[in-house]
Amino acid sequence: MTIPNNDVTSTIQLALAPVFLLTAVVMLITAISGRLARAIDRMRFIHGELLAVEKLTPSLESHYRVEFHDVRIRGRICAIAIFFDVLSGVLISMTVLEIFFFEAGGQHLHGSFVITTFVAGLICFMTALIVVLVEVVYAHRSVGWDLPSSHDEKS
């Protein structure tokens, strides 16, 4: 089966339009992964400090325990955002494949499939953005601005 050149060109153009959204999906995954990596590094540091509890003041130990809990929650929020972002990428990729195969196969494009996967992909992407916003707000609110002095006397 041969496909005329202009049909191939229009099929590729039609299928590549959602690919630009995939670029945004990848950029968001990169940003969230960076936030998750920083949270994990912070948890490792705090864990090390808590293992050396004999050198910590009670107030600093208490502060570290609260911060450890907050950072663990932030890590879980980042994981949820990554889940929705990856799911978005999968759905948008399915949209691209649907468009390409329907057009290349010479069949009429069933809009319901394409619309369903594309809209579901957009909803997942927006959900990931909202979850990232929640994580950023939570991170800002949980920052230990009132860090106790390490020179406090032990009780």
pLDDT tens digits, residue range 89-109? 999 999 888 877 777 666 666
> Residues near 101 by Cβ (< 8 Å), separated by ≥ 6?
none
In sequence order, which ranges of 17-110 are alpha helices (DSSP H)?
A: 19-51, 58-104
**CA dihedral angle for residue 23, residue 79, residue 130, residue 26, rounded to 10 degrees:** 0
Q: What is the pTM of this model?
A: 0.79
Is the per-residue pLDDT at 50 higher than 50? yes
Domain segments of the chain as ranges = 16-142
> Over the Cα atoms of the chain, what is R_g?
24
Rounded Cα distance, 142 and 112, in Å: 44
> Residues near 142 by Cβ (< 8 Å), separated by ≥ 6?
67, 70, 71, 73, 74
pLDDT digits (tens, 9 = 90+) for 59-96: 888 888 999 999 999 999 999 999 999 999 999 999 88
Q: What whole-number percentage of the chain has pLDDT above 70?
A: 76
